[in-house]
Structure 1
Amino acid sequence: MTNSHSATLMAKHARLDAQIASESHRAAPDTILVAMLKKQKLKIKEALAKLG
């Protein structure tokens, strides 16, 4: 279960990274959305660190 769970978390992390990059490169980025996405990304990173 750990491998599939970590793979899922890594996929979510990559998806959030892409969303953050996309939003940040817009002419008028939504800073609240970017901050929210970064928080989600950090939570996933912390969860991955706990898994090993």
Structure 2
Amino acid sequence: MQSTAHQSALEAKHASIDRRLAEESHRPLPDTALIAELKKQKLRLKDEIVSH
């Protein structure tokens, strides 16, 4: 089982990516490549959070 600190760090990183994703999505001309990469990173983190 993961330590609480590690779990919290993963969740904080997930939230940070979520904010960056929201910011980029609301720009007049969002960078679709960046959005796709952020979504992949967010999904990887979520998988890691859930698997532990």
With normalisation by structure 1, the TM-score equals: 0.94
Alpha-carbon offset, residue 3 of structure 1: 0.5
Q: Which residue of 2 aligns with 1:12?
A: 13
Identity of aligned residues (%): 47
Distance across 2 between alignment mates of 1:40 and 1:5: 17
Q: Which residue of 2 aligns with 1:31?
A: 32
**CA-atom RMSD in angstroms:** 0.8
Unpaired segments ≥5 residues, structure 1? none
Aligned length: 51
Secondary structure of the 1:5 match is helix
Unpaired segments ≥5 residues, structure 2? none
